Chains A and B, each alone.
Chain A
Amino acid sequence: MTIKNRDSFLDNLAGQLGRKRNTKGVERPKWSINPQHRVLKDATQDELVEVLETQCKEIHTDFISTDKKGLADALEEFIDKYHGKSIVSAGGPRINEFGLAQLYEKMAADGKDIHLWDEEKGEENKVFAEHADIGITFSDITLAESGTVTLFNDKYNGRSISLLPQSYIAIIPKSTIVPRMTQATEKIHQQHQNGQLVSSCVSFVTGPSNSADIEMKLIVGVHGPVAASYVVVEDA
């Protein structure tokens, strides 16, 4: 781990600004205006779910809202829709909390190829994800305004799960829904201030991948998933 050429480079910048280098003591000012806090400021949790559902139409994403009991059915519905035979899912404690472990066992018994992301399995995780039909993860923070799931990628939730398979399903615990990106970045900022390690990869994912590089025509599904769906689960 090295830093090269820093002093001459930064001394030059300070010189251009007509002063000596500032190596400490620079404070972020209090900004004169903060419009980001006004967005959906007084919305209830149910209203945020509605905003999210409406936004899903704009981002070509299927949406369903259910409770813990209905989660298995909802997932099966999307898995059928995407013709899912092989499925890679994030691991971790929430698998049991939301009763997914049983669902996956049942599916495996029905002949589906299920892979839980597991640090012990190393490279095999990526290889499976690359050929999988569907990737499933939980959302850590969900942004109603833009229809975005925020993933703190880690040893349970590999970056590839929401990226390499043909289709992607995000399970959204209702309590994770916030108005917009502002609340997510505030939380990350706070975590950092509290000395917690920020995730090596924070992915804000908004629907399937797309491109408009050919004659400005929308192509849904370029490098990432071709289809995406969100399942909101009551978890209060």
Chain B
Amino acid sequence: MGIKISYKPYNERVKEGVDNSFMQQAVASAQGRFRSGRQNRADELGDWEDWRTLGEEIRTHTLQNIDYYLQELSENVVKRGGNVFFAETKEEANAYIQEVVRKKNAKKVVKSKSMVTEEIGMNEAIEAAGAEIVESDLGEWILQLDNDPPSHIVAPSIHKNKEQIQKTFAEKKGYTGTDKPEELGLFAREQLREEFLDADIGITGCNFAVAESGAVTFVTNEGNARMVTSLPDTQITVMGLERVVPTWEELDVLVSLLTRAAVGQKLTSYVTSITGTRLEGETDGPEEYHLVIVDNGRSKILGSEFQSALHCIRCAACINVCPVYRHVGGHAYGSIYPGPIGAVLTPLLDGYEDHKELPYASSLCGACTEVCPVKIPLHEQLIRHRQIIVEDEGMSPVSERIAMKGFAKWGASPAAYKMSAAAARPALKPFSRHETIKNGPGPLKDWTVNRDFPLPAKQTFRSWFQKR
């Protein structure tokens, strides 16, 4: 699939989101739960700001020395019997993974939830290499059966209701039970258990890799990452290059921030750190291990004014407080990374061309910046994106360019300004009722579709000021 999940224009995607009242309700309620969970955990600690400061310090230092820590990591993985592949592009990453699939003559690959594998379109690459790929996270499995992209980075199927899921299970897997979540979950458990036992290769993403010892860590609740790393004999971990910590001590801090900020848990059910291949005498865990470290556009962010966007630990706290996400939903962003962090990261990773509207999908209220556990100045980065888009005329929408030029000329002529300011009220009067415009003409329509516009005042500010 890749980072881009839709070829529809932005306005159309937004309209689909705004018109989908089930999705809006589901998202609003999920946001509420996530937010209060995060807030409760932060309050309980009492010194959450200190934790954020420490998180930011750790991420800043690590990214400043990312070449050193990745070298250390790779050496330690090899010491423990693993292989490491550095992939500059998604094509390189997929080609390496396909080679492993072919060498192992694998028929079935089972994977746990991972955003970076979505980003590089790994599933399609594995199918092209002749193997079946099975998503094992409950939410991702539902989406895979339905051929639907994720709409949230922690809760990927947040936009679907239980009736839709029941229908999908019935159509695709012959499910005959009710729409009770427990029963649907039990069905998934039974179906997926067989897949785990059957798989030749297991693939995971990576929340944090520990440079000092070569461990990769997965933060999950369902236990599917544990299945994937315990049962198949061959394993592949795919990680974005920024996902590393110096030592186990920093792992503690970042995991503690992640589970609280993401789902309001002190720790998730499973935090699992695996290192290389199984040791002598062990009977579960892999006998062959590969770590694939992916750049895919990240290095361009390094050393730029957006470097701190690489500090992101993918908790989705910014998504869970965003009023724009609440209204339009994840799919409207057209990227696997939605919400404020998605609006910052997507243009950086995939270029402005296809994603130039995203920095405008924000009210700049700053709620995202306030909750970010590693203090990424998200709304400031969105403003900076907007500046870059406007400065580079070729990227801003044509209508905006014309409007801006027209505004410059009009605003520079006092006579024109005075005349139109005085004309605004009589011109708009026919569209108004009780000093309010509910259905404006021309460009005003886009505004009044969503909210009322006040009729311009009887007296302009300038004339009031002169007569004062």
Decide: B155 and A160 in contact? CB cutoff 8 A.
Answer: no
What's the interface size class on B, roughly? 35 or more
State A4–B247 Cα separation when bound (angstroms): 24
A4-B85, A17-B302 are contacts. A204–B67 as well, Cβ < 8 Å?
Answer: no
A211-B222, A216-B29, A219-B182 are contacts. A201–B88 as well, Cβ < 8 Å?
Answer: no
Inside 8 A of B64's CB, which chain A residues have their CB?
Answer: 17
CB-nearest residue of chain B relative to A212?
A: B155
Decide: B248 and A223 in contact? CB cutoff 8 A.
Answer: no
Inside 8 A of B348's CB, which chain A residues have their CB?
Answer: none
A134 to chain B minimum Cβ distance, whole angstroms, is 16
Q: How many A-B residue pairs have CB under 8 A?
A: 294
State A13–B256 Cα separation when bound (angstroms): 28
Decide: B267 and A148 in contact? CB cutoff 8 A.
Answer: yes
State A202–B226 Cα separation when bound (angstroms): 11
Inside 8 A of A41's CB, which chain B residues have their CB?
Answer: none
Q: Which of A13, A145, A225: most chain B Cβ within 10 A?
A: A13
CB-nearest residue of chain B relative to A190?
A: B248
B461 to chain A minimum Cβ distance, whole angstroms, is 49
Kindly state whether residue B394 has any CB partner on chain A within 8 Å: no
State A130–B47 Cα separation when bound (angstroms): 43
Decide: A221 and B185 in contact? CB cutoff 8 A.
Answer: yes
User: Which residues of chain A from 21 to 48 have a CB within 8 Å of any chain B CB?
Assistant: 21-24, 26, 28-29, 31-36, 38-39
Kindly state whether residue B352 has any CB partner on chain A within 8 Å: no
CB-nearest residue of chain B relative to A10?
A: B67
Kindly state whether residue A189 has any CB partner on chain B within 8 Å: yes
Q: What per-residue 1/0 map shows which CB atoms of B39-57 lie under 8 Å from chain A?
A: 0000001010011011001
Q: Which of B26, B92, B266: most chain A Cβ within 10 A?
A: B266
Q: List 22 A-B contacts (CB under 8 A).
A: A1-B82, A3-B78, A4-B86, A11-B67, A16-B300, A32-B53, A36-B252, A36-B253, A143-B267, A153-B285, A163-B226, A184-B252, A185-B248, A186-B252, A189-B249, A206-B269, A208-B269, A213-B156, A219-B185, A223-B136, A224-B226, A224-B269
What is the interface of chain B, defined by CB distance below 8 A to chain A?
26, 29-30, 33, 45, 47, 50-51, 53-54, 57-58, 61, 64-71, 74-75, 78, 80-88, 92, 96, 136-139, 142, 155-158, 161-162, 165, 181-182, 184-186, 188-189, 192-193, 196-197, 212-213, 215, 221-224, 226-227, 229-231, 241, 246-253, 255-256, 263, 265-285, 293, 295, 299-300, 302-303
What is the interface of chain A, defined by CB distance below 8 A to chain B?
1-6, 8-14, 16-18, 21-24, 26, 28-29, 31-36, 38-39, 55, 59, 119, 121-123, 125-126, 130, 143, 145-148, 153-155, 158-160, 163, 180-182, 184-186, 188-189, 192, 197-217, 219, 221-225
